[in-house]
Amino acid sequence: MARYLLGRIISAIFVIWLVMTLTFLLMHAIPGGPFSSEKVLPPAVMENINNRYHLDDPLGKQYVDYLKNLSHFDFGPTFRYEGRTVNDVFKDGLPKTATLGALATLLALVCGTLMGIVAALKQNKAADYIATFIATIGVSVPSFVIATFLQYYIGFKMNLFPPIGWGEPINMVLPAIALSAYPIAQITRLTRSSMLDVLNQDYIRTARSKGLPGYIIVIRHALRNALIPLLTFLGPFFAYILTGNFVVEYVFNVPGIGQFFVTSIGNRDYPVILGTTILFATLLVLFNLLIDIAYTIVDPRIKLADRRGL
Amino acid sequence: MSLPIEMFTPVKQDSKLETINRPSTSLWQDAWRRFKSNPLAMGGLIVLTLIILVALFGPFFSDFDYASNNLMNARELPGWTHPFGTDELGRDILTRVMFGTRISLLIGFGSVLINLSIGIFYGGISGYFGGRVDNVMQRVIDIIYSVPDLLYVILLMVTLGAGLQNIFIVLGLVNWVPMARIIRGQILTLREQEFVLAARALGSNTSRILTKHLLPNSIGQIIVVAALQIPAAIFLEAFLSFIGLGIQPPLVSLGYMAAEGRMNIPSFPYALIFPAVTIAVLMLAFNFVGDGLRDAFDPKMRK
């Protein structure tokens, strides 16, 4: 176990380093500097700018400097926001992104599992069809379209929730729904099929024949085992919550990292793109490590060594 | 007790019992038979065929051009001349949707073709040789897998620049990983089977075994993955268009139209609704067909 963990941690560090290097190289492979799209500047000014951002250093030195700064979590200056560093942007945005993400996670887990359970218990009845229909919409409509419809029809037309902005808790309602639409759909489908599997097992029949009430069978016997396959979805789920934020924060004008990232793509603000990619990739690699460890705790039948090949 | 020796005489052989009366069904006939009996999959296939036909031939019957503006007729409501209405530059939305579907389908099929080629090559080698080669190749896949593909896609698109050609390159470069894994898994199990040993005993070389025996036997799995990756590619392109890294005008894709229509939703929702509905229908059709194919090729997976 300790040996496995050590190996996983080393490989996680290696992956993070690789992501840093590749993103750095990609960003520097772009023809023309980040300032070349502006109106033509006098050469002296260009030289000053390059000097200021160390763009005239040799690539190797820039790379070593960047890694050095990253090692104490310094992501460098932004190109487009005078006086702000990427760290400032993260400090501002991360709490908002994290709050929204946590809320969406909660919503997705609760709604998804509930809908999945109901659909499985009422298989081929109206409730099943409604849940399947919602799940189908969630996976077949792009999230920016769902977000726009929610914003316009629920926000502007019906005036139920504020369609834009940030600050009050009520502002979070629509973005959280938009962000959780896709995971809700996936979790509903997963829970439904694994619930149906479990409900056909012998130990459920035994529990029923002992005369246990239905809700105890569902909660204590069926659900616990039905939720294990859900663990495999947690990695992609977390990845979706992070990257889904790009769209949702942009549409609802939430001042989080996601919105900033999308704006930076338009602005070609490379340090922000670079920093966000590294931050998100690091978070995901660490999270996947945690999931792998959680596996062994939740289900002792799963051996860590077996999952390595996956 | 003892059994009399007569009980051990062979039963009289009758050659008639050995003849096969019905024509044997091939893999394809078998899969098609199962596919046909699945109403959702057949519905998806019919809808998909209709959409493809309309997207391919519809623009020839249209009186309008998808790219030229006509500001006099801007934002016309759906009616006889413009069944889907016109957008804020007066372009016929139906014609644009048909052209956009063409491009979206092109992206879906094209990028899957690219990642299929890479995936077959990578997964085939990894699975066939096994051992150390496989180990190293799988480590590489693990690394690629541990970072979400959306981040790679965005980074590569920023580096290469937006546009149709780069979308092909990037989606092809990123999406081959699941394909390679499936093919490797198939090859790993297949290469241990007797017919491969027989082929080798008869003197077939590696490339012949790979192309004539192993790949044809994994074709079902390959088709299933491809069928499910096409809608994923169309979805991803829609996202790229939304953040401004997708198709560049005057070309249109469904995602680009939806992203463009989004801006004017308060005054004119049709420019968003029609492309969005088309994307949704396309997604559903592809996914139903993909699920149907999975059930048809691999009845064991069926619930």
Q: Is the confidence at residue B147, as pLDDT, over 50?
A: yes
DSSP string, chain A: -HHHHHHHHHHHHHHHHHHHHHHHHHHHHSSS-TTTTSSPPPHHHHHHHHHHTTTTS-HHHHHHHHHHHHHTT---B-SSSTT-BHHHHHHHHHHHHHHHHHHHHHHHHHHHHHHHHHHHHTTTSHHHHHHHHHHHHHHHS-HHHHHHHIIIIIIIIS-SS-SS--SSGGGGHHHHHHHHHHHHHHHHHHHHHHHHHHHTSHHHHHHHHTT--HHHIIIIIIIHHHTHHHHHHHHHHHHHHHHHHHHHHHHHT--SHHHHHHHHHHHT-HHHHHHHHHHHHHHHHHHHHHHHHHHHHH-TTS-HHHHHT-
Yes or no, beta carbons of B159 and A30 under 8 Å apart = yes
CA angle A33–A37–A39, rounded 5-degree value: 120
CA distance A249 to B92: 31
Q: Looking at beta carbons, which residues of chain B come within 8 Å of A269? A: none
Average pLDDT over residues B244-266: 81
Looking at residue A198, what is its pLDDT? Answer: 82
CA distance B163 to B293: 32
Pick the closest to residue A119 from A226, A228, A235, A233 (CA basis). Answer: A226
Which residue, among A19, A129, A143, A145, would best test binding to B if mutated, counting the most B CBs under 10 Å from its CB? A145
Closest to A262 (Cβ–Cβ): which among B147, B159, B243?
B243
Looking at residue B302, what is its pLDDT? Answer: 45
Looking at residue A306, what is its pLDDT? Answer: 46
Looking at residue B303, what is its pLDDT? Answer: 40
Q: Looking at beta carbons, which residues of chain A come within 8 Å of B232? A: none
Looking at residue A307, what is its pLDDT? Answer: 44
Which residue, among B144, B158, B181, B282, would best test binding to A if mutated, counting the most A CBs under 10 Å from its CB? B158
Q: Dump pLDDT digits (tens) for B280-292.
A: 888 888 888 888 8
Mark which residues 237-256 of A lie under 8 Å from B by CB.
239-240, 242-243, 246-247, 250
Looking at residue B75, what is its pLDDT? Answer: 66
CA distance A59 to A37: 21
DSSP string, B52-79: HHHHHHHHHH-SS-SS---GGGTTPPS-
CA distance B276 to B253: 11
Tell which wins on pLDDT, A241 or B25: A241
Looking at residue A193, what is its pLDDT? Answer: 84
Yes or no, beta carbons of A27 and B159 under 8 Å apart = yes
Q: Supply the mean pLDDT for chain B.
A: 81
3-state DSSP helix/strand/coil % of chain B, to nearest 5:
70, 0, 25
A13 touches B: beta carbon within 8 Å: no
Per-residue pLDDT of chain A (310 residues; tens, 9 = 90+): 677 778 778 888 888 888 888 888 887 776 655 565 556 666 766 677 666 666 666 777 778 877 877 777 777 777 777 677 778 888 888 888 888 888 888 998 898 888 888 888 887 888 888 888 888 888 888 888 888 888 888 777 777 777 777 777 777 888 888 888 888 888 888 888 888 888 888 888 888 888 877 777 887 778 877 777 777 778 778 888 888 888 888 888 888 888 888 888 777 777 888 888 888 888 888 888 887 777 767 666 655 444 444 3
Q: Is the confidence at residue B115, as pLDDT, over 60?
A: yes
Q: Looking at beta carbons, which residues of chain A come within 8 Å of B158? A: 26-27, 30, 265, 268, 273
Please determine, for the modelled complex, whether the ipTM score is greater than 0.85. Answer: no
Q: Dump pLDDT digits (tens) for B153-200.
A: 888 888 887 788 888 888 888 888 888 888 888 888 888 888 888 888
Query: At how many degrees (to 10) do helices A270-298 and A86-121 cross?
Result: 40
A207 touches B: beta carbon within 8 Å: no
Residues paired with A77 in a beta bridge:
A85
Closest to B143 (Cβ–Cβ): which among A15, A240, A250?
A15
Q: Looking at beta carbons, which residues of chain A come within 8 Å of B147? A: 15, 19, 281, 284-285
* Highest-scoring range by mean pLDDT, A213-227, B21-35, B95-109: B95-109
Q: Dump pLDDT digits (tens) for B268-279.
A: 777 788 888 888
Looking at residue A32, what is its pLDDT? Answer: 55
Yes or no, beta carbons of B159 and A250 under 8 Å apart = no
Yes or no, beta carbons of B146 and A26 under 8 Å apart = no
Average pLDDT over residues B226-248: 85
Tell which wins on pLDDT, A31 or B88: B88
Average pLDDT over residues B62-68: 69
Query: At how many degrees (to 10) do helices B270-297 and B27-36 cross?
Result: 130
